Chains A and B, each alone.
Chain A
């Protein structure tokens, strides 16, 4: 309580604190997470995806059935013993679906990751160096992009056989182009930003500017793009497997499971229904995450 006698005495300067900052210190990613978790759909998507990933990783280990083990019960219905039933060769479909999820997620995440890395490096260099180098690099991109990616996959399958590796390689050959174009535009815009100029006048190397200043600030749109690219890759793999160009038996992906079930669709619809709905759930979850992430990363929503 302020004594009356002290009312009009000059204030102690330490009580003035004119450089006071009212907000609590918070990093960028902390902020992003705070915004992300308010978005219910995105949060549910993240939880669902986490459950699926966990199931795919530890599920097959706990399952009493091997993925290629044939049994005597063929085309069994969904039951407590066989959650998704069995296929025409008596293999447990739940175990096979979990394996399929493994492959789908592997293809989705790994190809996207490779595409991101290649695209960021390529686009970053083109945008940063500029001039003739940029022109030549972008023309090369145009040429690669001119050939449909399906053609690459088919060619690689002919050479390396149909396995996960050749599918992923095929999807990577032209998959990084979108990222590289995006990164290039980002870098060209960031080049004129004052904090990049500041780093430049401090004598920072090109590598440092690209990695520390440009990549960190281009990361938001890149991440959003990546979360959209993952479901696309999963879909593409499923599609290739479905048209019979995917991995070969006894391995299974969600796509080949659907392909195998096609013949019995009218009799045993659950064989088709289970893998397809897993694909749907994964893709929904990823799309929700992507949407939530792009909102959380959008700097215009920052106060």
Chain B
């Protein structure tokens, strides 16, 4: 059984200008010990999906459909278990969020409380969920700090976040995420705010820790470089949908979707060095408020066809689990797909 299985998840946001469908019918799964990369640009819904999973959506956002099975239990706010009772849902999430699923965010400074000693912040979760004494928690916290590579953890236990550098802060956030021995870590752009040399350190650390503790990691990033350094599977998202999913090598070397191709061209994966070597995707990401009925990538697609404008493509799989949603691969089923969307 998969550790986490997302089925047909859709998330909407109500804004002053209308309803934004931030995540549209997304399904995927991740197994124990697996490293999944979710790649997309800003507004692709890659973070929103995770926030929905953790029950951390902003007030104007809501899960409108779908199941989120963690270890076989549906932890979506729509799950039958809760009967629409948000208090019961919140209570259940408190036992999962930060305990069974750890989180690492882009900016460690917004996650850490600036007026609390970092020791307090690490032990907080341990004491609450393991019900152990303060002394035991401290021993564990120092052990964790050692694991994430903080030098002389005994001395630094009583320091405040501002006394740490950016990379060290991110290590502390990782230590907090690991505190309750989670089975899944969700890392939302954990290295974007860091310098390149520090970024490499943090990625190595995450990789080692995940292997050692047999944790699954979902890495949300816009950086294909980070993905190729640590992930086994990749989901490519565009305008709230997964447009292509596959193993790392399938995504990079057997690329199917024009958007994925465009992304790889943009970072120069298949290009040499030197000037004029980049191919880019023209235009600008779509406004989710005003999507037309067809494929959201159509306006920027080099291979767009007439049908792309009016009808959504269906997902087609090429191997065990390398799938892409593009009209170029489902031409033969066109009649059936068009009919389904008109009805």
Contact = CB atoms under 8 A, between A and B. Distances in A.
A and B in contact, CB less than 8 Å: yes
A23 B284 contact: no
Interface string A15-33: 1111111110000000000
A7 to B, nearest CB: 4
A105 to B, nearest CB: 34
A203 interface: no
Contact of B306 (A9, A22, A23): A9
B284 A19 contact: yes
B283 interface: yes
Given A18-B299, A18-B300, A22-B287, A6 B306 contact: yes
A10 B284 contact: no
Contacts of B327: 8
Size class of the contact patch on chain A: 10 to 19
B287 A11 contact: no
B299 A16 contact: yes
A303 interface: yes
A303 B282 CA distance: 25
A9 B287 contact: no
Contacts of A9: 305-306
A15 B309 contact: yes
A16 B283 CA distance: 10
Given A11-B298, A16-B298, A303-B15, A21 B305 contact: no
Nearest to A302: B16
A2 interface: yes
Interface residues of B, number: 26
A18 B284 contact: yes
B305 A8 contact: yes
Contact of B304 (A2, A7, A16, A22): A16
Contact of A8 (B284, B290, B298, B331): B331
B289 interface: yes
Contact of A2 (B282, B298, B301, B310): B310
B219 to A, nearest CB: 29
Contact of A20 (B299, B310, B331): B299
Given A2-B310, A17-B299, A18-B299, A11 B284 contact: no
A6 B327 CA distance: 13
Interface string B295-315: 000111101111111100000
A2 B306 contact: yes
B16 A11 contact: no
B304 A18 contact: no
B305 A11 contact: yes
Output the residue of B303, B307, B331, B334 with the most chain A CB within 10 A: B307
A117 B138 CA distance: 59
A23 B305 contact: no
Contacts of B289: 22-23
B283 A18 contact: yes
B306 A11 contact: yes
Nearest to B281: A18
Contacts of A23: 17, 287, 289
B304 A8 contact: no
A6 B306 CA distance: 7
Given A16-B298, A303-B17, A8 B287 contact: no
Interface in B266-289: 282-284, 286-287, 289
A10 B283 contact: no
Given A2-B310, A16-B299, A303-B17, A11 B304 contact: yes
B300 A8 contact: no
B81 to A, nearest CB: 34
Contact of A21 (B287, B301, B309): B287
Contacts of B287: 20-23
Nearest to A35: B16
11 contacts: A2-B310, A7-B306, A7-B331, A8-B331, A11-B308, A16-B298, A16-B299, A18-B283, A20-B286, A23-B289, A303-B15
Given A7-B305, A18-B299, 19 more contacts: A4-B335, A6-B306, A7-B307, A7-B331, A8-B305, A8-B327, A11-B304, A11-B305, A11-B306, A11-B308, A16-B299, A16-B300, A16-B301, A16-B304, A18-B282, A18-B283, A18-B284, A20-B286, A23-B289
